[in-house]
Amino acid sequence: MAVSPKTRIQVWGESAARCAHCKEQLIYSEDSGLHESLIGEVCHIFAQGKNGPRANPHISPEELDSANNLLLLCRKHHKYVDDHPELFPVERLAEIKIKHIEWIVRQLSIAKSWDCNLATLHYLNIPRLTILSAMSGEMVTYDIDTSRGLYCLGEKLLGVMVAYQGLLEKMHPKVIDMPDFAEPYDDQIGMIFKFSDRFRTKNAPWPDREANYSNYLKGDIAKDPQVYKKFGDWKLVMIIDPMWITTSTAFCDFAPSGGHNIFSGLAMVKTINHDDKIITATPLVMGIPKSPLHDIFNMDINEMPRTIDV
Ligand SMILES: [Zn+2]
């Protein structure tokens, strides 16, 4: 038996992509925010093999590979707990897991559930949304070839957008309001926040269905596509990877003639650079916010107020 991909995503989501022991963020990249690596490992509490650490012959292979018996750890702690089962018996690992989940709940206590208020989906970071959906208990995975970018999917894209619109409206992820980044602190790294604000736009490419957007970003904050906003001396930069831009309209809205636009969505704080006073955040989903009139214009005909006969 082996842990299924679905269970792995579930364990990553439950653990909020952090080591249950040291809380380290387990989606790693250099400051540029490029070339992400998953540096966490899914660890068995009762060993998978009969000679492994904390082995128990009475547990079925299915139970051994279920999320209940798994814990997300950084590489260092995975090796350490498996090298020293006498220091990390089953009871201690179970306690670490429970404490970690309690810690996540406390972190989320200042969070509110996010109601998707997007009129359009301009940007869908599929790998990040997969982890987010697992955190919200509404896991979804799509078997689509996104290797050149969403825009290059052509007509298949519509199905993906409809599916994600439905998912986002259903899953109500727990997120925080956009912090005041004029006074950032390192604990904010890894937090998911919602935004609905005016941003400056920079460096976005024009749409090209023949393009291969997979290596578009260069890791150069001066040249990569982005939206940004100033907070006092600080600047919040959200790098826009053209891989996840959906439509021609979206490409144009990331490069409007005025150099700014209003966007709503969710992003995760990635780095806080105190020397340059730059905060980078990875957008998970972005779009144009619904106008207050949106629901009226899109009201189902049957729900329209009827003429009242006097
Ligand atoms: Zn660790």
Residues 260 and 126 in one domain: yes
**Between β-strands 278-287 and 27-28, what pairing exists: parallel, antiparallel or unpaired?**
unpaired
Q: Residue 142: which of 156, 121, 123 has the closest Cα?
A: 156
Asked if residue 307 belongs to a domain, the reply is: no
CA of 48 from ligand 1 middle (Å) equals: 21
Please identify, among 60, 85, 108, the residue that sits at the C-terminal boundary of a domain.
Answer: 108
Q: Residue 131: which of 245, 238, 5, 236 has the closest Cα?
A: 5
CA of 38 from ligand 1 middle (Å) equals: 13
Asked if residue 310 belongs to a domain, the reply is: no
CA of 22 from ligand 1 middle (Å) equals: 4
pLDDT digits (tens, 9 = 90+) for 258-297: 899 999 999 999 889 999 999 999 999 999 988 766 555 5
CATH number (domain holding residue 124): 2.40.50.110
CA of 283 from ligand 1 middle (Å) equals: 25
Structure-token pair, residue 45:
């509490």
CA pair distance 59, 62, nearest whole angstrom: 8
- Asked whether the whole model's pTM tops 0.75, one would answer no
Residues 169 and 43 in one domain: no
CA of 114 from ligand 1 middle (Å) equals: 29
| Cα separation values, 173 from 114, 222, 272, Å | 6, 32, 24
Residues 197 and 281 in one domain: yes
Asked if residue 304 belongs to a domain, the reply is: no
Domain count, the chain: 2
pLDDT confidence of residue 34 = 59
Residues 129 and 275 in one domain: yes
Phi, psi angle pair for 70, to nearest 5°: -120, 155
Asked if residue 24 belongs to a domain, the reply is: yes
Length of the chain: 310
Below-50 pLDDT ranges, the chain: 300-310
CA of 113 from ligand 1 middle (Å) equals: 28
CA of 286 from ligand 1 middle (Å) equals: 32
Residues 146 and 201 in one domain: yes
Please identify, among 108, 131, 160, the residue that sits at the C-terminal boundary of a domain.
Answer: 108
Cβ count near 211 (within 10 Å): 15
CA of 166 from ligand 1 middle (Å) equals: 35
* 130 contacts: CB under 8 Å, gap ≥ 6: 9, 139, 140, 141
Residues 176 and 44 in one domain: no
CA of 20 from ligand 1 middle (Å) equals: 7
pLDDT confidence of residue 298 = 54
CA of 40 from ligand 1 middle (Å) equals: 8
CA of 41 from ligand 1 middle (Å) equals: 10
Would you give the distance in Å from CA 274 to the centre of its chain?
Answer: 24
| Cα 177-252-244 angle, rounded to 5 deg | 60
Asked if residue 305 belongs to a domain, the reply is: no
Structure-token pair, residue 296:
């009226």
CA of 34 from ligand 1 middle (Å) equals: 22
Please identify, among 70, 89, 108, the residue that sits at the C-terminal boundary of a domain.
Answer: 108
pLDDT confidence of residue 290 = 83
State in Å, rounded, how far the first CA of the chain is from the last one: 72
pLDDT digits (tens, 9 = 90+) for 154-167: 888 888 888 888 88
Would you give the distance in Å from CA 248 to the centre of its chain?
Answer: 23
CA of 12 from ligand 1 middle (Å) equals: 14
Determine the structural domain holding residue 170 and report its residue range: 112-294
* 154 contacts: CB under 8 Å, gap ≥ 6: 209
Residues 80 and 122 in one domain: no
Q: Residue 181: which of 163, 154, 199, 158 has the closest Cα?
A: 199
